[in-house]
Structure 1
Amino acid sequence: MATRKSSQQETVTVDGHRLRLTNLDKVLYPETGTTKAEVIAYYSEIAEYLIPHAADRPVTRKRWVHGVGTAAEPGQVFFQKNLDKSAPDWVKRHTIEHKSNSNVYPLANDRATLTWLAQIAALEIHVPQWKFGPRGKINNPDRMVLDLDPGEGAGLPECVEVAFLIKEILEGMGLDPRPVTSGSKGIHLYAGLDGKQTSDEVSQVAHELARLLEADRPDLVVSDMKKSLRQGKVLVDWSQNNWAKTTIAPYSLRGRPHPTVAVPRTWQELQDPDLTHLDFRQVLERVEQIGDPLSGMAGGSADEEALAVAPAADRLSVYRSMRDPDRTPEPVPAAVAPREPDQPVFVIQEHHARRLHYDLRLERNGVLASWAVPKGPPVTAGKNHLAVQTEDHPMEYATFEGTIPKGEYGAGVMAIWDSGSYDVEKWRDGKEVIVVLHGRPDGGLAHDGGPSGARRYALIHTGGEDGKSNWLMHLMKDQPQTGTAQGSPAKDKDKDKDTAKGTAGAPATPVSGSAPGSGGTPQPVKPMLAVQGTEASIDEDDGWAYEMKWDGIRAVAVVAQGEVRLISRNGQDMTKTYPELSDLPDHVLARTAVLDGEIVALDAKGRPDFGRLQNRMNLVKTADIERAAKKYPVEYFLFDLLELDGTATLGLEYSQRREILKEAVDAPRDGHIQVPPELDAAVAEAVEASREVGLEGIIAKRTDSNYAPGLRTRSWIKIKNQLTQEVVIVGWRPGKGSRARKVGSLLVAVPDGVELSYLGRVGSGLTERELAEIGSRLKKMSRKTPPLEGVPAADASDAHWVRPALVGEVQFSERTEAGKLRHPVWRGFRPDKKPSDVVVEIPQFQP
């Protein structure tokens, strides 16, 4: 029963629960005129089909309180995990406990809850692949999901082709896959499970499937989240099987310009050349006619041995499962042949499949450990190549050449590019491999410049578990000397440098020592710091990369267990201050990570504005924070990676860390999590580019430098377009006239050894609000005597002295001969820094 009050409001009873519905005439989808009332009606009608796929799962909501907007001007979306305090008490809920906090999630178990979700404009309902058990226990997943996401230049037809490839594989594993057109761009594939495997185990199987499909169809499939690799291809996103990840629930609306729905389809429908996404009206008509194509999905068992590397007893089970010896000339032995070689062998095969790539195979424990290297072994130390680890191959493959028939796995011509023996310098399973390959005099390695075909390479694991997924193949700077005998590694007088951490000039060898958070949750790392310099400070021959200098506050992010902590340079926890960055784990393609970046607030032209960011600092009350977040949203610009899945990357070179960062973070161009690219330019061009777009300057970074936590080194040099200086407030002077009893200007200084050196006073740039807020704070910090010497009598005459604990930042034209700042303008407070962090940026004027 409903008691109608107006066209905008009514009270209804749904399954015995009373709900007050408001703003029913509000248009939530402007391009179609779809109102809130229609959205509520849809969720009420579709409930019997949606609930079976969402029940007992924690619901994460995406809300468009003011509507989705249009394609040209999208509306503001709120990503919400915690249950609202105003939620009806009859909404079923469960709590997920984390080490630092807990989240309370609603469960979409009934029609009344779906109606309430529609009332608060939670248009999109996202759930994980597992359910809560008794007393809130997190069960193992009961389904596997693969998200087929087309890159630019691809669409539904390409997704359909990939879906059928996966269908064949999953059915061969005894699973029952069902397709769902996502309502956005691509297709989701669901397969029911029996709940015997953990989320990690299911993720591993899904990842392996995506990786193997990519190796077989590199022209169509990519398993890497990096945007630049997805042109014209379909990303098989396996990561949504992580226990902390969610997928839009079947039959949920989408927050797109048109009210499309994530709707289950039949395999027959997918063959329709006119296949399109459906809107909510079409879905309601459809379920009346054919019911739910996703119902009755069998719960099978995801057999890891069908995809993952088998135990040591037989490491070729995966290889054999993918090949029919009656249809391919490849060797398919019944078992691993034991072998104890004096010198292990390697082979690099040139594989003319749908797209040319190279396969590197290294003898290890009786089989050939294998990587597909799309661009071939790198020939310069400054360029790393992606290497995708594939299934182990039999030793007989070391001499295989021939044509794999069309329709078979890896179809195409296989030829040996180079082969020989190799020496192992380091082999850490799943982490790092360093070898010296001794190829043939007429082989590909010799043709690429290696002496007698001897080349020293490192393989660096960039994520995942147990040695699977993506690696980087790196040519070491220190190579075997010409004339080195085959079978004997080159003697290198600087070899010890290869395993030492350093800064500028350090060798390129990656050092993967103890992770910052090894043994548990990763810990924050003190950020590495840059020194002030000019273009003259840069010798281009040394190898430099250039990044824009972002005008914000430094933040180290610690990602673990689906949560993020944001730590400032002085160790303060800023997580609650910037709630919109809580979804960072959704963009990190790993379970744990430590990242370095800058929190910025952009102006109307998309440029960082430190003044806007000031409105987000020093807020404590939740209401104030939420209000400021809506008015002054922030973005997080990532520029370094310090740990990934428990492995420290501090000892890797800058160029290697950047490559891994770009692989590990899925950052849409228009999102609030960004990985800004390095500038492909000379230093003068980079500085000019920053000036043209109105930025603060650039940061020059040595490409061969390691990450030095907490240290200020010349491996990083900041070159500014404007002169700025961080300062310590030592006192204040009252204003004139109406401001006689208020703060008129601040007296500032910089540390000079153990003392403070006076820089002058600054009043310009201080807003009335800042002056009012700082006044009471400074009075609480007052002291009778000045905390430094050398303050001119004119400035000290009416000064009120304070304890030197607050840090701010000023802009100025130059430093005078006496050491003072000329024309200083206040830029804002720096709560992220301590006085001990402040250093002299611009030296005193020199005649």
Structure 2
Amino acid sequence: MTRSHLDVDGRRIVLTNLEKVLYPETGTRKFDVVDYYIRIADAMVPHMASRPVTRKRWPGGVESAPFFEKTLPAGAPDWVARFTIEHSERRTVYPVVRSAADLVWLAQVAALELHVPQWRIDLSDDEERRTDRIVLDLDPGPGVTLDDCAAVALDIRAMLTDAGLESFPVTSGSKGIHVYGRLASPVRSESARTVARQIATALAQAHPRTVTATMAKAERERRVFIDWSQNTAAKTTLAPYSLRGRERPWVAAPRSWDELSESGLAHLLCTEVLDRYENDGDLLAGLSEASPPVQTTTVPGDAVVDLGEYRKKRSSRSRRESVAPPPRESAPARDSEVDDPLPGLVGLRPMLATDDPIESLTDDWAYEGKWDGFRALIRVVGGRVRLISRSGNDLTGDFPELSVFGDLLVSGGRPVDAVLDGEIVAINDAGLTDFSLLASRRRRAEPHELRVHLFDVLYLDGVRVWEQPWEVRREILESLDYFDGEPLIDVPPLLPGPAETAIRTARDRGWEGVIAKRRASSYASGRRSPDWRKQKNWNDIEVVIGGYRPGRGSESKIGSLLVGLPAERGLRYLGRVGTGFSDAELDALLEELRPLRISMCPFIDDIDKPVAGSATWVLPKIVADVQFMDWTSTGHLRHPSWRGIRRDKLPGDL
């Protein structure tokens, strides 16, 4: 390994592998990255100063896998300023950029993307984080150009100008545009977020065909998505002048408003940005002002902010004084606590909703879509991913694609631990969740997209947030930036209220139903609570397979399944399911049921002799999902249709 030294701002920095090509398409080396950051430092540092830095590193170059890094790694120079966020169980130490030397050290470790929050350390205290600027991130959806984003940016500029605020555009170096606004005086991050959201919502209402302010990717076709959430205190945005880890060394480049008024706008490479800076200076000069230096941890006065319980004092709504009980010690220990760094979290189970009408609910409730998939808690501990079903079954092996969680929640080799609640779904060609496709995806050639819809967070980096009200947990979930750009992971937006509107919206979109959640509710682990209510758009039921009948003219084929529900002495018979199968599903079912054959009928009801006489009985251990129209007068399913096996449930869960 080649080594050299570089003296920058009175600091001697060890540099290695300067000839390493980080951007193969342009031949850009680590040497070139170091050179860029030295030459742009005078412009870049003021816009990063007094803000903790999250890094995205590409040690092997941009054609290799990157990783996020929050914690300052061991071996970092002691002169790098640091800022400590103290949680209840751990401290996370971030670097803070103060000079060109800091930028050179970051370039040495291949930290190509430098992300910062909008709030500043010197304006904040141990309870509130404050900012002197807002940012709106314009993200183009399919069929939208950078020029289209520029048109929306000009509209934002007009709104900010009317409010007496100076604004500054930055092409992001990836897809869209960042528009910054300089605030007249510092405000809380929550206030800045509110202002940004109002701007985004107003533009979306004024231009519904070309602009959206909702997070749902389905709403972004031929629209510019205005992401106002970047102002949330826990979120970060790519710093102005930062490189991008794309195929070319594009930069988050400040632009003039005249440029945005002309057609043909394009992103800029680092070499172009340097030329422009030498000719025109810093186009963002009016956005930031100098801030006091941040002390390092080696001297008194280390900057430490205790975020405690993630905005515990944040909510102004009424909150219940009771909190969810700790995880039940008697819960099934299928996910063993042996060698688990977080044994206290093993007993967590998904909170369940009651089947109650929601039409009369008040503003104290929020509404989410009801998704048609496998419910799971996603536990990421030490970079290892575990998917745990509502009954405690380990689903990890069934979804190897979801190991991406471990990659995204690791920072510099040190894990960011989390427990998240969500639904694993398969999205079909129509853009709808399809349980049958999910259950049989390995045997069907139909195109689909596997995704996890996240809707709750129970534990995050040392903080047990399940005790917080739902609205606080929801805000924490929306503020996470670990999942940016990962198509497998999604946080669906809330449905608009009141309840009647939410129901109509879900029905119009072809969704399974609506989940209503009391805003003040804590997370009741493993319990069915009236604080969460579900209302379906059609009838479906989870049943247990107790037998099958052969297909017409073939003893080696399944014609229909005999299903029921667990009762005290056996299964209560609900009827036969003979539609909704593919041939491949029927073949796979037969292979799965053959080893379970038994001689005794598992149903406690009297079954018609023609049916019973041709049936093969099986041990009732497989749970399936069935859709049906309604109930017959004899208590059987009318027009039932097969949807798939519930691998996440056991008969005892019904």
Shorter chain as denominator, the TM-score bin is: 0.5 to 0.7
- Quote the offset at 1:48 in angstroms: 7.8
Q: Is 1:822 aligned with 2:643?
A: no
1:139 deviation in Å? 6.3
The answer for the alignment partner of 1:160 in structure 2 is: none
Aligned counterpart, 1:229:
229
Q: Distance in 2 between matches of 1:705 and 1:669?
A: 31
1:807 maps to what in 2? 623
Indicate the SS of the match to 2:506. Answer: helix
Secondary structure of 1:772's aligned partner: helix
Q: Which of residues 476, 491, 498 is equivalent to 2:321? A: 498
CA distance in 2, matches of 1:565, 1:125: 25
Question: What are the Cα deviations for residues 788-809 of structure 1, in whole angstroms up to 9, with x where unaligned?
Answer: 3114133212111110110101
Q: In the aligned structure 2, how far is the partner of 1:605 from the partner of 1:145?
A: 51
| Whole-angstrom CA distance in 1 between matches of 2:250 and 2:404 | 21
What is residue 133 of structure 1 aligned with on the other side?
none
Distance, in Å, in 2 between the alignment partners of 1:176 and 1:608 is 47
Q: Could you say if the C-alpha distance between residues 43 and 642 of structure 1 is closer, same or farther in structure 2, counting changes exceeding 3 Å?
A: closer
Alignment of 1:686 onto 2:476 = no
Confirm whether residue 431 of structure 1 aligns to residue 308 of structure 2. Answer: yes
User: CA offset at residue 573 of structure 1?
Assistant: 3.2
Report how far residue 525 of structure 1 moved: 2.5
The equivalences for 1:702-717 within 5 A come to 702-717=518-533
Give the residue type in structure 2 aligned to 1:756: L
Match of 1:552 in 2: 373
CA separation of 1:127 and 1:768: change in aligned 2, threshold 3 A? closer
Partner of 1:177: 103
Q: Report the secondary structure of 1:608's partner residue.
A: coil
Alpha-carbon distance between aligned partners in 2 of 1:527 and 1:129, rounded to the nearest angstrom: 28
Question: What is the CA–CA distance in structure 1 between the aligned matches of 2:502 and 2:646, rounded to whole Å?
Answer: 27
Q: Report what 1:604 is aligned to.
A: 429
Label 1:806 to 1:205 Cα distance change in 2 as closer, same or farther (>3 A).
closer
Q: Aligned-pair distance for 1:672?
A: 3.1
CA deviation after TM superposition for structure 1 residue 665, in Å: 4.5
Secondary structure of 1:501's counterpart equals coil
Using the TM superposition, give the Cα deviation of residue 520 of structure 1 relative to its aligned residue in structure 2, in angstroms: 7.1
- Aligned equivalents of 1:830, 1:807: Cα separation in 2: 5
Cα deviation digits, residues 71-124 of structure 1 (max 9, x gap) = xxxxxxxxxxxxxxxxxxxxxxxxxxxxxxxxxx9984xxxxx9xxxxxxxx73
Distance in 2, matches of 1:208 and 1:542, equals 31
Q: The residue matched to 1:217 in structure 2 has which SS?
A: strand
Equivalent-residue separation in structure 2 for 1:683 and 1:815 (angstroms): 27
Q: 1:139 to 1:145 in 2, by over 3 A?
A: closer
Q: Measure how far apart 1:636 and its partner are.
A: 0.9
Residue number in structure 1 paired with 2:392: 571
How far did residue 565 of structure 1 move? 2.7
For the 8 Å contact 2:134–2:231, the answer to whether it is kept is: no
Of 339, 344, 349, the match for 1:526: 349
1:248 to 245, 270, 274: 245
Question: 1: distance between equivalents of 2:591 and 2:79?
Answer: 58
SS in 2 for 1:689: helix
Distance 1:821 1:559, change over 3 A: same
Alignment of 1:192-271 (within 5 A): 212=122, 215-219=130-134, 227-230=227-230, 235-237=236-238, 248=245, 263=270, 269-270=276-277
Q: Decide which of 558, 565, 582 is 1:750's aligned counterpart.
A: 565
Do the aligned partners of 2:624 and 2:644 also contact (CA within 8 Å) in 1?
yes
Deviations 1:400-437 (A, max 9, x none): xxxxxxxxxxxxxxxxxxxxxxxxxxxxx5424xxxxx
The whole-number CA distance in structure 2 between the counterparts of 1:675 and 1:48 is 36
Aligned mates of 1:205, 1:600 — CA distance in 2: 31
Letter in 2 for 1:544: W
- Distance change (3 Å), C-alpha of 1:42 and 1:525: closer
Shift of 1:733: 1.0
Distance (Å, rounded) in 1 between the aligned partners of 2:79 and 2:454: 31
For 1:787-806, list aligned pairs within 5 A. Answer: 787-794=602-609, 795-806=611-622
- Which residue matches 1:124? 63
Which structure has the higher relative contact order (CA within 8 Å, separation 6+)?
2
**CA distance in structure 1 between the partners assigned to 2:99 and 2:119 by the alignment:** 11
**Runs of 5+ consecutive residues of structure 1 not aligned to the other structure:** 1-40, 55-104, 109-113, 115-122, 131-137, 147-166, 179-188, 277-304, 319-368, 370-388, 390-428, 433-459, 462-470, 479-496, 504-516, 839-847
Q: Is the Cα contact below 8 Å between 1:129 and 1:141 reproduced in 2? A: no
TM-score calculated relative to the size of structure 2: 0.59
Partner of 1:11: none
Counterpart in the other structure of 2:577: 762
2:58, 2:65 within 8 Å by CA — same for their partners in 1?
no
Is there any run of 5+ residues in structure 2 with no aligned partner, and where?
1-20, 35-56, 82-94, 124-128, 136-179, 182-188, 194-214, 216-226, 252-264, 284-291, 327-339
Q: Distance in 1 between matches of 2:79 and 2:247?
A: 14
Residue in 2 that maps onto 1:661: 477
Aligned mates of 1:578, 1:208 — CA distance in 2: 36
* Residue 294 of structure 2 is aligned to residue 307 of structure 1: yes
Deviation by residue 1:702-755 (Cα, 9 ceiling, x = unmatched): 222211111122222211111000000011111212x34321110101123464
1:614 corresponds in structure 2 to 439
CA positional deviation for 1:558 = 1.4
TM-superposed deviation, 1:217: 2.6
1:771 aligns with 2:648: no
Query: Could you tell me whether the CA contact under 8 Å between 2:80 and 2:296 is conserved in 1?
Result: no
The question of whether the paired residues in 1 share the 8 Å contact of 2:67 and 2:410 is answered with: no
Partner SS state of residue 534, structure 1: coil
Q: Deviations over 1:275-330 (max 9, x none)?
A: 99xxxxxxxxxxxxxxxxxxxxxxxxxxxx9536979x965x76xxxxxxxxxxxx
**Aligned equivalents of 2:232 and 2:300: distance in 1?**
38
Instruction: Tell whether 2:318 aligns with 1:477.
Output: yes
Query: Which residue identity does 1:764 align to in structure 2?
Result: T
1:477, 1:43 → 2: CA distance? 53
Alpha-carbon distance in 1 for matches of 2:101, 2:266 = 32
Q: Counterpart of 1:442? A: none
Quick one: structure 1 residues 789 and 576, their matched pair in 2 at CA, closer, same or farther if it must change by over 3 Å? closer
User: 1:562-589 CA deviation, whole Å, 9 max, x = no partner?
Assistant: 4433223333333344344333356669
Matched residues in 2 for 1:546 and 1:608: separation?
18
- Identity %, equivalent residues: 31
User: In the alignment, is the contact (CA less than 8 A) between 2:432 and 2:511 conserved in 1?
Assistant: yes
1:129/1:142 contact within 8 Å kept: no
* Matched-pair contact (CA < 8 Å) for 1:810–1:824: yes
Q: CA distance change for structure 1 residues 43 and 751 in 2, over 3 Å: closer, same or farther? A: same
Q: Is the 8 A contact 1:699 1:716 kept in 2?
A: yes
CA distance in 1, matches of 2:114, 2:307: 13
The alignment's C-alpha RMSD in Å is 5.0
- Counterpart Cα distance in 2 of 1:529 and 1:702: 13
- Match of 2:417, as an amino acid? T
2-structure distance, mates of 1:592, 1:666: 12
Distance 2:548 2:481 in 1: 45
Q: Closer, same or farther in 2 for the Cα pair 1:565/1:539, shift >3 Å? A: same
Structure 1 310/714 Cα, relative in aligned 2: closer, same or farther at 3 Å?
same
* CA-to-aligned-CA distance 1:132-156 (integer Å, 9 cap, x gap): xxxxxx964589999xxxxxxxxxx
| TM-score, with structure 1 as normaliser | 0.47
Q: Is the 8 A contact 2:563 2:575 kept in 1?
A: yes
Between the aligned partners of 1:692 and 1:45, the Cα distance in structure 2 is 46
In 2, Cα distance between equivalents of 1:143 and 1:636: 41
> Contact 1:143–1:190 at 8 Å: present in 2 too?
no
Matched, 1:836 2:638: no
Deviations 1:585-618 (A, max 9, x none): 56669822110011111122211112221233xx
Counterpart check, 1:592 vs 2:592: no
Aligned to 2:598: 783
Return the alpha-carbon distance in structure 1 between the equivalents of residues 346 and 427 of structure 2.
29
SS of the aligned residue for 2:497 comes to coil
